């Protein structure tokens, strides 16, 4: 990820606001009760800030989830999710920029933990 590249982070912030904020929140706060399925049986959008679990996943996993969806990531084409598939909607560079923007907002200790995880890959 390019979380320390000002241009990538700025692009990511714009793409995030246009494509992700309506569900994940303008401040990365996610939807209420994001750990509990809604009436439709689907999980609400999680936060991408330090309170969520995004930083528990390596960058490649986050990229694959964003581009191809949860069902593809877990090899379950019938998995029901409100998360759109962005393959063909956003370019790879835009997805990486969004993930870089998200990471750029995390506190230093969480960024360091995420970097350590990335370096173990």
In angstroms, the CA 99 to CA 20 distance is 11
Tally of domains within the chain: 1
**pTM (2 decimals)?**
0.93
In angstroms, the CA 18 to CA 20 distance is 6
Question: Do 3 and 104 meet the contact criterion of CB atoms below 8 Å apart?
Answer: yes
| Residue 45 counted as domain residue | yes
Q: Which domain holds residue 112?
A: 6-120
Q: What is the pLDDT of residue 21?
A: 98
**What burial letters (b/e) apply to 34-47, b meaning 16+ CB within 10 Å?**
beeeeeeeebbbbb
| Residue 52 counted as domain residue | yes
CATH of the domain at 78: 1.10.760.10
Q: What are the mean pLDDT values of the chain's consecutive 10-residue runs (121 residues total)?
A: 89 98 97 95 95 94 96 93 96 97 96 91 73
């Amino acid at each position: 990820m390019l979380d320390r590249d000002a241009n990538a982070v700025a692009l990511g912030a714009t793409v995030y606001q246009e494509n992700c904020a309506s569900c994940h929140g303008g401040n990365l706060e996610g939807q209420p009760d994001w750990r509990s399925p809604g009436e439709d049986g689907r999980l609400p959008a999680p936060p991408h800030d330090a309170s969520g679990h995004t930083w528990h996943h390596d960058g490649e996993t986050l990229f694959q989830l964003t581009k191809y969806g949860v069902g593809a990531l877990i090899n379950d084409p019938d998995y029901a999710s409100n998360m759109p598939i962005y393959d063909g909607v956003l370019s790879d560079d835009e997805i990486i920029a969004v993930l870089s923007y998200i990471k750029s907002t995390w506190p230093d200790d969480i960024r360091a933990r995420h970097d350590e995880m990335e370096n173990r890959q």
